[in-house]
Structure formats: C-alpha cells, structure tokens
Structure 1
C-alpha cells in the first residue's frame, strides 16, 4: 500500500487506496477527487527539486515511476491546456461559470534598482509584505553592522574575510554589495526563511531552513543582482503576497520554474566571466576574481558591469 501526500492550492491531502500496481489513471482520478483539478490539466511533480512526471499513459503502473510510500506529490493546474468541456446536454446556465484567464495568482519578480543595495531593498520588500522603499538600505546596513559588532566570536575574520571592525565599516558603505552572510543575518533578525533562487544553476538556497521559522520569503538572483518575488493576480488591485508558509512547497516549485525560464532566456550573469570596470580608476576587469584582487590591491570596491 502506498501512503502519499498530495499538496495543492487547497491544502495537503493524504492519498489512500493506491498501491505500486495501481495505474496512472487511478492516481489522476484520486488527485482530481481530492483537489478538484481535472485529470486533463493536472501537473504532478515529485522529488526535490520537484520535477514533472510524465503521466500521459494512463495504463502505466506507479511502480514504473520514482514514487515511494511517504512521498509528497505536488499538484498544479496547467494553464496552457484547455479545460475539459461540459458534456453535451448541459446548458450554459447550469455549467459552472468560467473564471477569467488571469484570475489565478502568478509568482513573478518585482524589479528593484541595481544600485549596490538591491539585496537590502529586496529583503525589505518581501519581509514588509510588499513595501518598496529604496531608502531602507542604510538602516539595514547599520543593523547588520550592529549585529556583527555585538558578536565578534561568531563573526570572526575567518567567517567575514576581514576583521570584525573592517567588515562593519565596509558593510555600512553604500557602494558595497550584500551576499550570503548578510542574507543569513537578516533571516535570523526577521525570523523567517529567506529562499534565494539562482537563475544560472536553477538552485534554491534556503537561509534559516533549520531554524523552525514559520514564514518564508523569496528572492531571485542572477549572479550579481537580487530582485524580490511576489505572487499576485494579474490585472487585480489586490495586494501581492510576499510572505508564505515554510510548509508551502508549491511556492518553491513555482520559484524554480521561474528561475529555469530565466535560465533558458539566459537571464543570468556568469560571475566568473562577466565584464566590469572600476568606477574609481576605470580599469577593465573580468569576473569577480579579478574584481576581488583589484579591490585588495587598490582599495577600490565600486564596480560597474559593462
């Protein structure tokens, strides 16, 4: 007997009555019964990161798929497939009214300026529920410096790559970029899991994953720039959603799909090969390694992408 969980927008359901010898159609019928999503438009994903299962042949047994007892299946409705029509003889007046095509919420990026403070603007946007305030950066930089200075044993030179005091002076400057250290600190401060989805590797890095936080926010990262992710109904005046439950694996799957789409469109920057120039002396550089070496030699840390 297979004991599976089915996660969909209407919640998590326990699926019973299926075995490894059950056929695909039985699975799809059970999913439709629990979620209300018709078989014809179901998209069923398994594993982590979640990947779609090819369930086009309804007679194939479940034992032929990478599904085992205890797994969680993530179910979405495919928007690009036509919904089944009501059977003949059902009048339009008796059929359920169709929803507008844009009635379903969509996860998308909210673009913020590339002003060296995109990480701080993006984190503030998601943790504050969609508040865009680019002037928040100095305060957030100061907050991080204060936290680091208060705990020199945890934030030592081995962790920071520079002395505690040097780091605090460095992060307060408006021409320095934030990264993993800053995301980790902000995750602890805001008591929420911060998920950073990388468009080059189509990977999600979850900061605060093991801390037991109940809230989750998401950023998308292209190698040098962060943007916040929000879920909203297209064309609606309703406020967008930026804070999600850490039990919501569907939102992670959607974020990975968004990153994969960006990767296919090459919407990422290869940090080992992208072209930069020093904004101080105008020297041309290639990749973050040259930029780091130049900064050590000259003290110049303000770079722009060519």
Structure 2
C-alpha cells in the first residue's frame, strides 16, 4: 500500500487506498476526490526540487513512476489549460487563463543596490521605491555596529567598522549577510531562488515567522517575485504564508526555466573589470584576490 500526502495551497490530505499497481487515472481520481481539482487540469509534482509527473497516460501504473510510500505530492491546477463552463443559459466569456494569478519576476535596476530595492519591494507589498537603498544600507549599518559580538570579523570577513563603512557605499553589493539581517529586522522569511543551481535558500526558516517573501538570483542580480493576474488591475501579491509550499514550487519552476535559457551568471567564469585600475579579471575568486591586494572594490561586468 502507498501512503501519500496530497498538498495543495488550501491544505494537505492523507491519500490512502493506492498501490504501485494502481493506475495514473486512479491517482488522478483520488486527487480530484480530495481536492476538487478536475482530473483534466491537474498538475502533480513530487520530489525536491519538485518535478512534474507526466500523467497524460491514465492507463500507466504508479510502479512506473518514482513514487514511494511517505512521499508528498504537490498538486495545483494547470494554468495553461482553458476551463470552459457551460450552462443552459450562458457560456463563460473569455479564457480561464486570464483569471488565474501567476508568479512572475519584477525587474529592478542593476545599479549595485538590486538586493535592497528587491527586499524593500516585497516587504512593502509591491511598492517600488528607487530611493530606498541608502536608507536600507544605513539600517544594516546600525544593526551591525550595535552588536559587534554577533557581527565579528569572522562573520563579516572584515572588521565591524570596516564592514559598516563598506556597506554604506553605493557601489557595493548585498548578499547572504544582508539578507539574513533584513529577514530578522522585518520578521519574515526571505527565500532566495537561485537560477544556476535551481535551489532555494530560506533565510529565517527556523525563526517561526508567519510571512514569506521571494527573490530570484542569477549569480549577480536580484529581482523580486510577485503573484500577478494577467489582464487585471489588481495589485500584485508579494507577501505569502510560510505554510504555502506551492509558492516555493512555482518559484523553483521559474528558476528552472531561467536555467534552461541560461539566464544566470557563473561567478567562477564571468568577466570583470576593476573600475579603479581597469585590470581585467575572471570570476569571483580573482576579484576577491585583487581587492585584497589593492584595496580596490569597485568592479563591473564586461
């Protein structure tokens, strides 16, 4: 017997009564019974990162899939299928797709402050403030300087004082340290989805926060993620529940699509130029070594 958990954005259900001899159609019927999602518009994902099952052949057996007892199946309604509802008196007008919200990237400027702009955008509920970076850099400086024990040279990679001077500059980039600090300050989980590795790093995961926001990262640039409804004037949604695993699966799908399109920068191979002395460099390692030898810390991608 297979004991599976069926998880949707509205909750989860224990799925029993299936075996490896059961057909895909039996699985789909059981999902419809538990979730109300019709068989013909179901999308079923399993594993981590979640990958979609090919459920087009209803006669196939579950033994042909990598499903084992105890697995969690993530189920959602297909967004690329039109749902037509016909009654005796009327037919629903317009494609069903237009009424479904989708997770999408909201592009922000690549101006060395994309992390701060992106975090501000998502925690403020989709409000874009291009002038927010100096304030956020100042906030991080206050937090770090007020707690030199927690933010020591071992953590920061430089002395507390040097870090505070460095992060205030508008030509420096934020990263994991700054995301962690901002997660604590805003009391929310910040999930960063990486397009090169197709993984999600969850800052504040174990802190018991109820809110979650999402960023996508391509190796050098951060953008915020938001749920929006195509063709609608409704404001985007940028804040989600930490219990919503469906949104994480959707974010990983976006990252995987970007990876397939090579929309990422390999930090070990991308070409840089020191904007102070014009030295050509390759990769993050050479940039770090150059900065250590010269004190130069202003780099641009070639």
In the superposition, the TM-score normalised over structure 2's length comes to: 0.92
1:198 corresponding residue in structure 2: 194
1:57 partner SS: coil
**Structure 2 residue aligned with 1:298:** 294
Residue deviations 1:15-41, cap 9 Å, x none? 444232433212201212333322122
1:61-72 to 2 correspondence within 5 Å?
Answer: 61-72=61-72
Residue 214 of structure 2 aligns to a residue whose secondary structure is strand
8 Å CA contact 2:18, 2:27 repeated in 1: no
**Equivalence for 2:245:** 249
Equivalent residue for 2:170? 174
- 1:239 is aligned to 235
**SS where residue 134 of structure 2 aligns?**
helix
Please report the TM-score for the alignment, with normalisation by the length of structure 1: 0.91
Q: Is the 8 A contact 1:25 1:58 kept in 2?
A: yes
Q: Tell me the residue number matched to 1:221.
A: 217
Q: CA deviation at 1:64?
A: 4.7
Aligned counterparts of 1:303 and 1:166: Cα–Cα separation in 2: 18
Structure 2 Cα separation of the partners of residues 265 and 69 of structure 1: 34
Runs of 5+ unmatched residues, structure 1? none
- Select the residue among 275, 290, 297 that pairs with 2:271: 275
Query: What is the distance in 2 between the residues matched to 1:58 and 1:184?
Result: 46
Question: 1:192-230: per-residue Cα shift (whole Å, max 9, x none)?
Answer: 111101111111111111111111100000100000000
| Contact 1:193 1:206 (8 Å CA) reproduced | yes
Whether 1:151 and 2:151 are equivalent positions in the alignment is no
For residues 85-104 of structure 1, the aligned pairs below 5 Å read 93=89, 99-104=95-100
| Gap runs ≥5 in structure 2 | none
* 1:54, distance to aligned residue in structure 2 (A): 2.6
User: Offset at 1:276?
Assistant: 1.3
8 Å Cα contact 1:5-1:12 kept in structure 2: no
- After TM superposition, the structure 1 = structure 2 runs for residues 260-271 of structure 1, keeping only pairs within 5 Å, are 260-271=256-267
Q: Which residue of 2 aligns with 1:12?
A: 11
Task: Classify 1:100/1:82 alpha carbon distance in 2 versus 1 (closer, same or farther; 3 Å).
Answer: closer
Q: CA deviation at 1:3?
A: 4.2
Q: Secondary structure at the match of 2:131?
A: helix
What CA RMSD, in Å, does the superposition of the two structures yield over aligned residues? Answer: 2.1
Q: Contact (CA 8 Å) 1:3, 1:14: kept in 2 or not? A: no
Report if aligned partners of 1:222, 1:269 keep a CA contact under 8 Å in 2: yes
CA distance in 1, matches of 2:104, 2:80: 17
- Structure 1 residues 227, 280: CA separation in 2 closer, same or farther (over 3 Å shift)? same
Alignment map for 1:180-191 (pairs within 5 Å): 180-191=176-187
Q: Mean alpha-carbon deviation: is it higher for 147-156 or for 60-69?
A: 60-69
Instruction: Number of aligned residue pairs: give it.
Output: 301
**Would the aligned equivalents of 2:79 and 2:100 in 1 still touch at CA under 8 Å?**
no
1:95-133 per-position Cα deviation (integer Å, ceiling 9, x unaligned): 666654321111111111111110000001001101111
Deviates more, 1:287-296 or 1:236-245: 287-296
Answer whether contact 1:280 1:302 (CA < 8 A) is retained: yes
